Amino acid sequence: MAAPPLDRAAQIFFALDRDFLDVFSIAAKDPKIVGLPAYLFKPFSRRVLRSATHWVLLLRRAFWQHAGQLFASGNRANV
């Protein structure tokens, strides 16, 4: 199966934003998914984790944008 075109890949990637905070806050507490760090998050409510994962969502978006810059750059050493 081939990867979707870049514009479609971006649509898919950013469409996941609406579910990302809930899914991430649930997955962060599951040791089968994240291992030992899950035990650090167990005491926190889902609401608190959802708020904290907002920053992870922002980093996720920044990584996508930076990957786009790397992809488009002819001289990746300066990006």
pLDDT of residue 59: 93
What pTM does this model have? 0.66
CA distance 71 to 79: 10
User: Which pLDDT tens digits describe the chain residue by residue (79 residues)?
Assistant: 787 888 898 999 999 988 888 888 888 899 999 999 899 988 988 888 878 888 889 999 999 998 888 888 877 676 5
CB 49 within 8 A of CB 55: no
CA distance 56 to 37: 15
pLDDT of residue 54: 86
CA distance 58 to 54: 6
pLDDT of residue 21: 83
* The Cα angle at residue 43 between residues 41 and 44, in degrees rounded to 5: 70
pLDDT of residue 18: 85
